[in-house]
């Protein structure tokens, strides 16, 4: 049990990749705390997670709430940030800048603020793992905002790995995974996306949250890796 007695905090741990990561970490012996901005999401996730998991409620775009969250949590060993609203896909000619800023507020500035608040409380040997996506390297039309966030997060990982050393800072770069990330698409469009993506991938299927969770847990335990972005995409960058 590689994570026995480690305190793992998963921000965004109530659904999708975050929920799967919280579950796997708990099953590997960790004491897990999840956090969400919605009390009902936290309660629903707790019912699905192993006994002993704790939940907190905080708006991750509110710096005061983030600071108070980590004050309550105290010392921790690993921070995982998977929080994010469904994808905001928009072309430049129809772009809503307020929506674009909101997308950055959760996925980039939320992550940066969480690291700022957590870093003084992370024990020696601890780690931070953020979330990126292959859109940063292979964007499609309409992905300018989403791809920009991915690029910003990956640059942040490299900078923080230097600034916060010897604390380890990494990210997981995910491909197409069946999660609520795609819930803004109509169901028929979503299933068509999954089918077309699976047909193009060397692996022959889109990812499950559990596939990506294994990468997050691996980076918690891999003590000689920092400033790295681990790709989990079924070969999406090759397709």
Active-site amino acid positions: 132
Task: Please confirm whether the linkage preceding 166 is cis (ω < 30° from 0).
Answer: yes
Contact in structure between 219 and 8 (CB atoms under 8 Å): no
Contact in structure between 175 and 234 (CB atoms under 8 Å): yes
CB atoms closer than 10 angstroms to residue 41: 19
Neighbouring C-alpha atoms within 13 Å toward the C-beta of 30: 27
What the block records as the tokens of 86 is 């469904």
What the block records as the tokens of 129 is 């793992």
Report the alpha-carbon distance of residue 159 to residue 100 in Å, rounded. 23
* Among candidate residues 103, 110, 100, the one with its CA nearest the CA of residue 85: 103
What number of residues does the chain have?
A: 239
Angle at 186 between CA 111 and CA 141, to 5 degrees: 60
Q: What are phi and psi of 63, to 5 degrees?
A: -60, -35
């Amino acid at each position: 049990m590689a994570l026995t007695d480690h305190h793992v905090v998963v921000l965004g741990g109530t659904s999708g990749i975050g929920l799967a990561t919280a579950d796997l970490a708990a099953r590997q012996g960790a004491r897990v705390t999840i956090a969400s901005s919605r009390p009902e999401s936290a309660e629903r996730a707790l019912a699905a997670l192993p006994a002993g998991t704790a939940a907190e409620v905080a708006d991750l775009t509110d710096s005061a709430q983030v600071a108070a969250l980590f004050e309550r949590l105290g010392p921790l060993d690993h921070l995982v940030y998977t929080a994010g609203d469904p994808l905001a896909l928009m072309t430049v000619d129809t772009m809503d800048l307020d929506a674009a800023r909101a997308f950055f507020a959760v996925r980039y500035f939320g992550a940066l603020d969480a690291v700022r608040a957590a870093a003084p409380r992370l024990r020696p040997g601890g780690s931070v793992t953020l979330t990126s996506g292959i859109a940063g390297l292979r964007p499609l039309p309409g992905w300018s905002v989403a791809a920009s966030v991915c690029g910003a997060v990956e640059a942040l990982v490299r900078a923080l790995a230097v600034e916060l050393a010897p604390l380890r800072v990494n990210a997981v770069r995910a491909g197409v995974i069946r999660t609520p990330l795609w819930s803004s698409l109509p169901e028929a469009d979503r299933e068509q996306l999954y089918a077309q993506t699976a047909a193009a991938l060397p692996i022959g299927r889109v990812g499950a949250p559990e596939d990506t969770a294994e990468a997050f847990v691996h980076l918690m335990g891999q003590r000689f890796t920092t400033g790295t972005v681990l790709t989990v995409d079924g070969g999406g960058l090759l397709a």
